[in-house]
């Protein structure tokens, strides 16, 4: 039964204490509603004070507002303190350039932190369960995660001036649904959880059922894997930190430097973690655009026999090697310009965390949105070049008469000023602008559907 599993898990991991005041994140779905109900059922015995926090992301209009009303009514009927808010995620996405999921999470956790301060609470309780853990680990491994990220969702972690705890991690989704049924709970259901347009849903709907058919206790094995990875990572990080003390030349958030030879003398497993510690220190919280590929680039820079080389990382971080010292600096004010030849087939990695992939293809097999560009191979003036913008750049946008300044396109699309200098402009050998990835295509782009000829197909992809 859920009650027995969760009570044991709380005790084993020292998650909750008698007389504590807790903030509970409640969406109104089965997981969070079961969590709130469970905590409320034990609140009298353990003297727990509960505050339920709900965030309406306004993705589903009136339907998502009804979720807020539902949670509020549930709390009022049980004298649970309720805090709810509505946030315009779409507007925040346009302001920051973040994806829908990242923007929603940022605003949700910001509200949680505000409520913890308001109510003097130091513990946020969330309803993530064992199936969530499996999804997260699989997604991260598929995307090439390294280090502690492979461990998935932690049982508890620091958050603001307190911590986040997750007492439902030993459970499967079916445990929660059985509890809701047994307790007469009627949670709200989010139809977007069934859409395969979200990668997490694809893992949930297709991969997890297969793994559970292979092993009914798969979620327990994933949880053990998470625990072991996290413990191993803690030990390796401690070893790395002890080695790091001797390789810092300069240590500052804005500008730091290390001895390359000292870092390369470490075992490989510690080298990788040293690089991650350096980036964690500099960024504080790593940007979404920072990936394992950047870590690989940095390692390649260290072993490169050339005495001088540099890399441009997200958020304006310049990495510059000069003989045996490598400098990391945010002090530069403008990204370096680039002029990169695009081979077909082939791909180029860009300083902004994206890449452009080029291949020969048939028209009907290609995606058709602003992240792609298609041109008959016989009409192409090669080579294609990806470069930074230049003064006076203009293009002839598809579907419009006349030309348009690239500067105006950036303004119209509300691209932040700090992103414009690193944004790729794709031109042909004559210098004509063909494509501003994700924003506009030129009139030179082909119409889709013709499979009688060979096309050059370009795609702008996040790394």
Q: Which residues of 264-293 are buried (b: 16+ CB within 10 A; e: fewer)?
A: eebeeebbbbbbbbbbeebbeebeeebbbe
Q: What separation, in Å, do the N-terminal and C-terminal C-alpha atoms of the chain show?
A: 43
Q: Are 422 and 328 in contact (CB under 8 A)?
A: no
| Tokens describing residue 374 | 């298609």
Residue 458: closest CA among 432, 445, 339 = 445
| Residue 44, marked binder | no
Q: Which residues of 211-225 are buried (b: 16+ CB within 10 A; e: fewer)?
A: bbeeeeebbeebbeb
| Residue 32, marked binder | yes
- With helix as H, strand as E and coil as C, how does 59-102 read? CCCHHHHHHHHHHHHHHHHCCCEEEEEECCHHHHHHHHCCCHHH
Q: Detail the DSSP E strand segments found in 338-454.
A: 339-342, 346-349, 354-361, 372-376, 384-387, 394-395, 404-405, 425-427, 433-436, 440-441
The Cβ of residue 125 has, within 10 Å, a number of other Cβ atoms equal to 27
The Cβ of residue 388 has, within 10 Å, a number of other Cβ atoms equal to 20
Q: Which residues of 130-160 are buried (b: 16+ CB within 10 A; e: fewer)?
A: bbbbbbbbbbeeeeebbbbbbbbbbbbeebb
Distance CA 108, CA 444 (A): 43
Q: Are 386 and 350 in contact (CB under 8 A)?
A: yes
Q: Distance between alpha carbon 220 and the CA centroid of its chain, in Å?
A: 25
Which residue's entry shows tokens 């609140």? Answer: 43
Q: Which residues of 396-434 are buried (b: 16+ CB within 10 A; e: fewer)?
A: bbeeeeeebebeebbeeeebeeeebbbbbbbbbeeeebb
Q: Are 215 and 221 in contact (CB under 8 A)?
A: yes
| Residue 29, marked binder | yes
| Residue 314, marked binder | no
Q: Are 330 and 316 in contact (CB under 8 A)?
A: yes
- Rg for the chain (alpha carbons), in Å? 26
Known binding-site residue numbers: 27-32
Known binding-site residue numbers for ATP: 27-32
């Amino acid at each position: 039964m859920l009650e027995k599993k969760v009570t044991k898990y709380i005790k084993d991991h020292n998650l909750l204490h008698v007389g504590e005041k807790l903030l509970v994140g409640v969406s109104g779905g089965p997981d969070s509603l079961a969590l709130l109900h469970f905590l409320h059922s034990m609140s009298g015995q353990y003297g727990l004070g509960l505050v339920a926090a709900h965030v309406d992301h306004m993705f589903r209009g009136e339907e998502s507002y009804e979720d807020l009303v539902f949670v509020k009514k549930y709390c009022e009927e049980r004298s649970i303190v309720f805090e709810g808010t509505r946030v315009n995620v779409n507007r925040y996405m346009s302001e920051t350039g973040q994806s829908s999921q990242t923007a929603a999470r940022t605003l949700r956790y910001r509200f949680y932190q505000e409520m913890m301060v308001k109510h003097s609470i130091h513990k946020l309780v969330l309803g993530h369960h064992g199936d969530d853990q499996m999804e997260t680990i699989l997604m991260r491994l598929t995307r090439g995660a390294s280090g502690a990220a492979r461990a998935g969702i932690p049982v508890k972690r620091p958050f603001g001036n307190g911590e986040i705890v997750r007492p439902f991690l030993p459970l499967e989704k079916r445990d929660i649904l059985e509890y809701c049924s047994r307790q007469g709970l009627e949670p709200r259901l989010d139809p977007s959880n069934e859409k395969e347009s979200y990668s997490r849903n694809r893992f949930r709907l297709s991969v997890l059922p297969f793994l559970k058919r292979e092993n009914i206790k798969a979620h327990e094995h994933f949880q053990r894997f998470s625990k072991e990875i996290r413990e191993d990572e803690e030990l390796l990080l401690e070893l790395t930190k002890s080695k790091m003390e001797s390789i810092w030349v300069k240590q500052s958030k804005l500008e730091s430097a290390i001895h390359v030879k000292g870092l390369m003398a470490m075992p490989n497993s510690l080298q990788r973690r040293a690089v991650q510690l350096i980036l964690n220190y500099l960024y504080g919280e790593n940007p979404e655009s920072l990936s394992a590929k950047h870590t690989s680039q940095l390692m390649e820079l260290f072993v490169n026999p050339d005495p001088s080389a540099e890399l441009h990382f997200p958020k304006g971080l310049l990495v510059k090697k000069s003989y045996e010292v490598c400098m990391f600096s945010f002090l530069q004010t403008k990204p370096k310009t680039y002029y990169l030849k695009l081979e077909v087939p082939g791909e180029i990695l860009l300083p902004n965390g994206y890449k452009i992939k080029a291949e020969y293809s048939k028209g009907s097999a290609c995606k058709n949105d602003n992240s792609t560009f298609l041109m008959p191979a016989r009409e192409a003036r090669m080579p294609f070049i990806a470069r930074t913008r230049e003064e006076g750049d203009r293009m002839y946008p598809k579907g419009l008469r006349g030309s348009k300044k690239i500067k105006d396109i950036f303004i119209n699309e509300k691209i932040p000023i700090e992103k414009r200098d690193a944004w790729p402009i794709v031109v042909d050998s004559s210098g004509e602008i063909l494509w501003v990835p994700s924003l506009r295509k030129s009139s030179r782009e082909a119409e889709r559907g013709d499979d009688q000829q060979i096309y050059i197909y370009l795609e702008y992809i996040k790394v």
